[in-house]
Amino acid sequence: MSKKLFVGFSVVVILGMLLAACGTPATAAPAAPAAPGTGAKPAAKEFKSKDPNTFVSVSIGEPDVLDPALDYETAGSEVNQNVYETLVWYKKESATDFVDMLAESHTISADCKTYTFKIRKGVKFHDGSALTPTDVAYSLQRSILQGGSISPSLLMTEPVLGIGVLDVAQLLNPDGTYVDDAEGLQKLPAKDLKAACEKVAAKIVADDAAGTVTVTLEQPYAPFLATLAHTIASIMSKSWATANGVWDGSCDTWQKYYAMQPENDPIAEKAMGTGPYKFVSWDHATKTITLEAFADYWRTTELWPGAKTGPAKVKTVLIKGVDEWGTRFAMMQAGDGDIVLVPRANISQVDPMVGERADFDVAKGEFGELKATATADQPLRLYFGVPSLLRTDIFFVEQVNIPAEGNMFTGSGALGNGIPKDFFNDVHVRKGFMYSMDYDTYIKDYFQGEAVTVPYVLSLPGELGFDVNAPKYSYDLKKAEEEFKAATLKSASGGSVWDTGFYVIAVYNSGNAGRKAWLDILSAGLKKVNPKFRMEVLAVPWAATLRFRNKSQMPIYNIGWQEDIHDPHNWYSPYLVGDYGSKTNFPPEVMAMWKDYVNRGVAETDPAKRDAIYKELNQKVYDYAPYMLGPIAVGRHYEQRWVTGYYNNPLYGNFYYYELGKK
């Protein structure tokens, strides 16, 4: 999410689009179903926490990594957005309005290419050292220079170095020869490596005497402020970072840290910023991350009307990963979890415990009045009806990586008791899977009817490129049969996909009931098409899922995407050429086509022309059928009624605990 690989927790709302030059927003929002409360006033009964000084948030899984230059999923960004801070931040619920945070103020040049930030004075890091412009410039430079396709670095790289430049290694070879090739890159001439780093450093310049940092973009880039609010732009102490073994800030050494992997990142499980909470510990045995309020937190004035000031009111935050629903439900019943992730399949168990509820008002972009339910004496509060800015999809890998020790997900590696590594390179196979999915059953059984299928378009309703009249794939077993019979793959003995059949393992992250339900229904649909089509559904821990994904070892898996910035580029780019696209292993000519459309789309400043580019691309994507796109749901957020301060921001990584409190 953000960036984000979405573990399956936070819920988001469409609030606007970044369309105009320099990031001026225009607002749009889709309709969403609503179910009103009774209209009665909330019950007089008071609900008080047993421990108002400790906030317990219960989700599933654990973060992949905490280094903000590498983390690209919601569980990690949740920690980072509470520990680190950025130059600008989201204005309360808005996805498109920003307030200065570590920047006291900022200016933008008339050509929309130069951003100058006045750095706030009196800000301390958690180790007591003072924030300086040098720390800011170092952090932003590092976010680009560390690079690597599994990181969110492309969010900073593209606006600073040029549209289409998604990794700093492209400065050494525009064709991307050295992207992710740390060993090969380090062998390049020292002068070329230094020149690449110096180009980045010249674009992001600190002036400690003036108290400013200046960022010069390669071209105007409308969503740049939105990018700076993302955790990729988290500001860390240069001295702390270098003392902990990451890049020392020298252009002679940056290549040693390029394409860092979680297993060798020195700050993979460390964090130290200026935020309202300090990172204390990460206990893998209990899957618990502990944060502690920072007593010397700098914020003395409101960032927006009514925003909190001073140190965080709740002293300790415990973020727990509990995959098993029964345990989470017991914690909710006992009041041991202040916020608990509730799978859609289990809302019937939880709704009788809801004593008050607020429904989302799409027109106003906020929740309406809290109203008592028919069970007003119950301990939970429900916020209902937020339309999603995230989607969970099924991804096909067109060239699966099979290491020397083998690949459990591809079975025998051949049709029949497995699949060949290029199984999903056949468009008829992909379309056969598309037509085998019974979405109506999925929406009815898992989403309880609170989701809709939309046309086969990567961008979301309300964004440029979305077309309500675009085609979509639907459940049609006859068409599925036709597609599978048209597949050109052959077995070793010359048998077709239809005659030979296949066996494949599809992956979802452990504890995510929605993703399991989707894959189970798809598996059943495939068997209806042909009993020889066997797809086993396997739960894999979140961190392991990411590892397999990053190495393109899973031929089919279910994962989500939460917007980094509210702009269509943040869907077309990652899905076709960036984070997801690079792991799909498209043929070179297909990748070249995607890049051409994506680059033209983000470079175009006229919204109407930009919309036309994306709509032309939509047809190409539909015909190619690279992924199975999931339904768009409306959200439910449950919390104990002693929780205070909740609001929904579409781009938070789960929760921003500074704004939350407890009675």
Please, which residues have CB within 8 angstroms of residue 608's CB and are 6 or more apart in sequence?
none
User: Which domains are seen in the chain, by residue range?
Assistant: 65-264 (3.90.76.10), 277-386+635-662 (3.40.190.10)
Tell me, what's the pLDDT at 474?
A: 95
Using DSSP's 3-state secondary structure scheme, residue 644 falls into strand
Whether the per-residue pLDDT at 330 is higher than 80: the answer is: yes
pLDDT band of residue 611 (cuts 50, 70, 90) is: very high
Question: What ranges make up the beta strands (E) of 468-528?
Answer: 502-509
Tell me, what's the pLDDT at 96?
A: 83
> Strands 533-540, 502-509: parallel, antiparallel or unpaired by DSSP?
parallel
Q: What is the rounded distance in angstroms from the CA atom of residue 425 to the CA atom of residue 12?
A: 33
Tell me, what's the pLDDT at 169?
A: 97
Q: What is the CA radius of gyration of the chain?
A: 24
Tell me, what's the pLDDT at 20?
A: 34
Whether the per-residue pLDDT at 6 is higher than 70: the answer is: no
Using DSSP's 3-state secondary structure scheme, residue 523 falls into helix
Using DSSP's 3-state secondary structure scheme, residue 452 falls into strand
Whether the per-residue pLDDT at 31 is higher than 70: the answer is: no
The DSSP code sequence of 225-292 is HHHHTSGGG-B--HHHHHHTTS--S-TTTGGGGTT--GGG-TTTT----SSSEEEEEEETTTTEEEEE
List the single range of 83-87, 519-523, 648-652 with lowest mean pLDDT: 648-652
Tell me, what's the pLDDT at 44?
A: 62
Span 211-237, mean pLDDT? 94
Span 36-59, mean pLDDT? 77
The DSSP code sequence of 162-215 is -TT--SGGGGT-TT-TTTT-HHHHHTS-HHHHHHHHHHHHHHEEEETTTTEEEE
Span 148-175, mean pLDDT? 93
pLDDT band of residue 41 (cuts 50, 70, 90) is: low
The DSSP code sequence of 324-355 is -HHHHHHHHHHT--SEE---GGGHHHHGGGEE
Whether the per-residue pLDDT at 305 is higher than 90: the answer is: yes
Proportion of the chain above pLDDT 90, given as a percent: 79
Question: Token digits for 186?
Answer: 């380090």
Q: What is the rounded distance in angstroms from the CA atom of residue 557 to the CA atom of residue 571?
A: 18
pLDDT band of residue 23 (cuts 50, 70, 90) is: very low
Average predicted confidence (pLDDT) for the chain: 91
List phi, psi (to 5°) of 75.
-65, -40
- b/e 608-624 (16+ beta carbons within 10 angstroms → b): eebbebbbebbeebbeb
Could you identify the residue written with the tokens 């410039």? 137
Q: What is the rounded distance in angstroms from the CA atom of residue 480 to the CA atom of residue 139?
A: 50
Q: What is the rounded distance in angstroms from the CA atom of residue 85 to the CA atom of residue 217?
A: 22
The DSSP code sequence of 59-88 is ESS--S---TTT--BHHHHHHHHHH-B-SE
Whether the per-residue pLDDT at 22 is higher than 60: the answer is: no
Whole-model pTM: value is 0.81
Using DSSP's 3-state secondary structure scheme, residue 399 falls into coil
Q: Identify which has the larger pLDDT, 550 or 113.
A: 113
